[in-house]
Amino acid sequence: MLVQSLRHYMPCLILLVAPSAQAALVIDGRADEPDWANATTLGPLVTVQPLTLVPPAYQTEVRLLSTPEGIAFAFRNRQPAEVARVKPRTLRDRGGESDRVNVMIDFDGDGKLGYNFMVSLSDSIDDLVISNENQFRPDWDGDWQHAVDETEEGWTAEILIPWNISTMRAVPGDTRNIGVYVDRVLGSNGERYASPPIRFTEQRFLSAFTAVEVRQYSQATFDAYPYVTVLSDQVHEDLETKAGVDVLWKPSGTFQLTAALNPDFGQVESDDLVVNFSALETFFSDKRPFFTENQAIFELPTAQGGSLIYTRRLGGPSDDGQGVADIDLAAKASGSFAGINYGSFAVLESDYADDLGSAFYASRFLKPGERFTLGYAGTYSDRPFLDRSAFVQMVDLQWNPLAWMRVNTHVIQSDVQQAGIDKTGESVRAALQLTGPNGLFGEIAGAYLSENLDLNDMGFMPRNALRVGAISVRYPYSGFSENSALRTVQLHSDLVVRKTLDGEHIPSRFLIGSDLEYRNGGTQYIEWIRDSPGFDNLISRGNGLVYRESGSSFFSNYNTRRWKDWRFGGAIWHTSGQIDMDAHLQTEATATHFFTDTLDLRVGLARKHTRDSLLWQGETLFARVAREQMMATAQLNWFPAPRHELRAKMQWLGLHSEDARAYRLQENGRLLASNEKIAPFAINSFGLQIRYRFEIAPQSDFFAVYSRGGDSFSDHDDQHLNQLFDRALQLRDADQIVLKLRYRI
């Protein structure tokens, strides 16, 4: 009963932090300054993975100090010598299996936006943005201090989070209430100890943080980040030099201005290779600093997995088809005024004045409250080369009538004008979320998307012309005996029913899945899907409805804990019928070898056999083909010394088709065999990147990157996978060396 009481009431406790330290802390991992003795103790931590809520197997003490430099945390982690210490070095935001600690903070204490700071025993770090209760995004990289110190008895970690790391709502007085969550993870078995006693996968996570009252300080900053990039193009024998500057000004905790003049938005990260035959666009995350710094207020999800703002559109493929559009100027302001959080940004592409580039603008306002949170967002895109403009508005509301009930809803209107044509569309979505005892969670949602809705000038919209209803249920269970191989199971089920605006049924989907954690440290995911018969209204690209038979799908993967110097993973995916346009069998295997804590190699191989793939050829012509696809990956990570990283990453994807048959779409949605000829085809794609990074100082880096790769498409039937692999190294659409220096002054 006592543990259950802690679980339900601890998030509501208010803790008063001791007076600030008189002298600046030295973040060296030792936490031996006298001020730590009088710091606030957080906790107690209890075991949440598995969700037993019992005291930790090994003592963990967490303390908090509010200082003029920022909010500081100290973890003292007991770990006897007989308990294996897992401490591989990892790239930033790559996480992985290790001994580690997490600090998560909601600076406004309203459950709307949080930040996750992770430090591992090897002093590797992750930093993520938390929104929508339990959605974590790794795109953001903050400037904060961290250090670890290891002894025979265990290890200690110190974290200092500056006041200027995020804009905050203005609060009168010398103190402010923040939300705090802390945890510790044992890398050897995956156990997690946390306070408050909740798991990060729970549907009510961010809003359940412990309320902590801290002494607040104002911290102004002005930073400039000049950069220079030299690109040597080995294919076209061209040398290009580019320079620019990013500026960050934060006069107070309630306002921040970011500007970029002639910004370098060329990525030193490479996207994964993708082959997409569907009518749905592939979504790619963004790693460009301007679009990750204080961008959380612009994270605006829409129905069917869309987003009101998709930053990869900005500075993306140019409207005239001549490569990628450069950006001349970008500016962003964010902050809080009169209890309203706001943000605005503008991006001007090169040659906008000459009607070749485009201009993009966005604004967001949010009024949070204890029961009601009301928001407004607007975007405007001007694309003169296409004689096109788009204005999109969204109003969103969150209502919490009871602690266990939440209502989320939004209304969107788009107005697109092109060559004198005015097209206006609407979308409405509403969801009722209910939280029950022992982690039970349910959601009932419905959405309407009109035929003229169009968000894709600045947003991401997988589809429109749709009515959809969905029911979701989640339930975690940890009541297994000590003799059970299982430690925790989280069950979930989803039912999605969809119709076109004309009332035609799109295949409905029923899903049952479970996340399993084994006592030996392994993890497994199992999923079964059943799709009903119905009409596909996307695959023909506007040339009619295509009738689909019912189908089912089974997927399972398993990942081991690190065993000595190895970690393994495997997956199998089988579909029958015509679910997702394919009937196929796919298998995957991965292996990671840790030569040392600073050198590791990960290899993976995936093979997919599709016996009946339906591919659109144009208008009402379709092809049904058999396909063989293989993807191989390898990544070597080496950390030769502190602040030095070397990564080599290779990806190859080969695909060939055979037994191609032509079909014509009939008015009733059925496909009728045709005597037309369909040529088989082969796709070969290869990418290699070798990247060296030297961290000169926080937010100051030097990169040396070599990239090579290319794609080929052919309509010959003699190119099988082994032949495609042999020819992969000959692909050379891109072959370049990039040197980049970015330094904070």
pLDDT tens per residue across span 59-80: 999 999 999 999 999 999 999 9
Question: pLDDT band at residue 154, thresholds of 50, 70 and 90?
Answer: very high
Question: pLDDT band at residue 273, thresholds of 50, 70 and 90?
Answer: confident
Question: pLDDT band at residue 613, thresholds of 50, 70 and 90?
Answer: confident
pLDDT tens per residue across span 472-519: 999 999 888 888 999 999 999 999 999 999 999 999 999 999 999 998
Per the model's pLDDT, the better-predicted residue between 715 and 529 turns out to be: 529
Strands 255-261, 238-252: pairing is antiparallel
Say yes or no to pLDDT of 718 above 90.
no
Q: Above pLDDT 90, what percent of the chain?
A: 67
Say yes or no to pLDDT of 20 above 80.
no
Give the pTM. Answer: 0.87
pLDDT at 5: 41
Average pLDDT, the chain: 90
Q: Which two tokens stand for residue 109?
A: 């204490």
Find, among 660, 719, 183, 112, the residue nearest to 406 by Cα. Answer: 112
Question: pLDDT band at residue 101, thresholds of 50, 70 and 90?
Answer: very high
pLDDT at 516: 95
d(CA 650, CA 639): 18
DSSP codes joined into one string, 316-334: -B-TTSSSBPPEEEEEEEE
pLDDT at 4: 42
User: Is residue 605 a contact partner of residue 588, using CB atoms and an 8 Å limit?
Assistant: yes
Domains of the chain are: 2-217 (2.60.40.1190), 477-494+513-745 (no CATH)
**What is the side-by-side strand order in the sheet with 40-42?**
40-42, 60-67, 70-78, 154-161, 145-150
Determine which helix (DSSP H) or strand (DSSP E) holds 413, and give its type and residue range. Answer: strand 405-418
pLDDT at 719: 65
Question: pLDDT band at residue 537, thresholds of 50, 70 and 90?
Answer: confident
Question: pLDDT band at residue 562, thresholds of 50, 70 and 90?
Answer: confident
Say yes or no to pLDDT of 387 above 90.
yes
How distant is the alpha carbon of residue 342 from its chain centre? 23
Average pLDDT over every residue of 28-49: 93
pLDDT tens per residue across span 658-670: 888 999 999 999 9
The dihedral region occupied by 121, where left means phi > 0, alpha psi between -120 and 50, and beta the remainder, is: alpha
pLDDT tens per residue across span 564-596: 899 999 999 998 865 444 568 899 999 999 999
Strands 14-16, 210-215: pairing is parallel
Query: Of the given ranges (234-248, 288-302, 358-372), which has the lowest mean pLDDT?
Result: 288-302
Q: Which two tokens stand for residue 629?
A: 């696809």
DSSP codes joined into one string, 578-600: TGGGEEEEEEEEEEEEEEETTEE
Strand segments, DSSP code E, in 597-643 are 599-618, 621-638
d(CA 604, CA 263): 35
pLDDT at 374: 96
pLDDT at 669: 93
Find, among 453, 501, 445, the residue nearest to 471 by Cα. Answer: 445
pLDDT tens per residue across span 672-686: 999 999 988 999 999
Q: Above pLDDT 70, what percent of the chain?
A: 94
Find, among 455, 187, 169, the residue nearest to 335 by Cα. Answer: 169
Average pLDDT over every residue of 262-276: 69
Give the SS3 label for residue 444.
strand
10 Å CB burial of residue 546 (0-12, 13-18, 19+) is: buried
pLDDT at 97: 84
pLDDT at 280: 84
pLDDT at 2: 37
> 673-681, long-range: CB within 8 Å, 24+ apart, which pairs?
674/621, 676/621, 678/617, 678/623, 678/625, 679/715, 680/625, 680/656, 680/715, 680/716, 680/717, 681/656, 681/657, 681/713, 681/714, 681/715
pLDDT tens per residue across span 414-468: 999 998 889 999 999 999 999 998 889 999 999 999 999 999 999 999 999 999 9
